Amino acid sequence: MTGVPSSAGPEPVTSRIARIVENVPGWTPADQLLALHMLAMTTAGLDGDVVEIGSWCGRSAAVLGHAVATTGAGHVWAIDLFPGRNDWRTNSDGTHSFTVNINGASINGSETHTMWDEPFQRDVAPVYARYDGILDAFRATVATEKLSETITPFRGTGAMFAAQAPGDFKVRLAFLDGDHDYAGVCADIDAVERFLLPGGWIAFDDAFSVYEGVDGAIKDRILKAGRYDCACQVSRKLFVARRK
């Protein structure tokens, strides 16, 4: 993994994002990462943190972390199941899923939307050839980007994170890229909405693309709720702002 450039001048945002995309495994492309970065910058005036559900190796978390570090406002909490190499299994149809054990609870991942072998071998297996677990890869990204004081990983679900968050915890921006089935997206919305500030934003991954569960949860919990304005689609991302 290539380190952060050591030149005296500041690294341009677009160059930084391009470098992170090149070096950090993940699926979010540069244009969508730039939109997340800009939103993290523009919400810096709100007294709250940034929460990401579904962090994988830290590509989007690093971009959000740089925005937070630049403004000096808040912190990034990166929530993921962070499966280890031995947590994965091959299903009868040749696809892949995983189960993690966290504090005695067994939690399934890639279950409704299993991962086909081709993308698994292309995108997932190479990570485990280098690291024992996704959390190790995530921490390496954070360390390389010099964001250890800005980003904190949390291994678990959004509901687990919400259950241990302090009563005065506040969120100005949430990026939801976790479980893509209906129940999972609804649970993630519930986990962050209780902390979301008026004027705060939720960004949804893979919105109105190919995941019916994501679309249904957004329609039922967001668009019909009457609590959000400024719905804006950027490629596969949907951004909504909570009414002030």
The domain ranges of the chain are: 15-242
Distance CA 127, CA 136 (A): 10
pLDDT of residue 30: 94
137-176 tens-digit pLDDT: 999 999 999 999 999 999 999 999 999 999 899 999 999 9
Query: Which CATH homologous superfamily contains domain 15-242?
Result: Vaccinia Virus protein VP39 (3.40.50.150)
Does the pLDDT at position 3 exceed 80?
no
Q: How much is the pLDDT for 6?
A: 53
Residue 222 pLDDT class (50, 70, 90 cuts): very high
Residue 161 identity (one-letter amino acid) = F
pLDDT given at position 221: 92
Tens of pLDDT along 72-86? 989 999 999 999 999
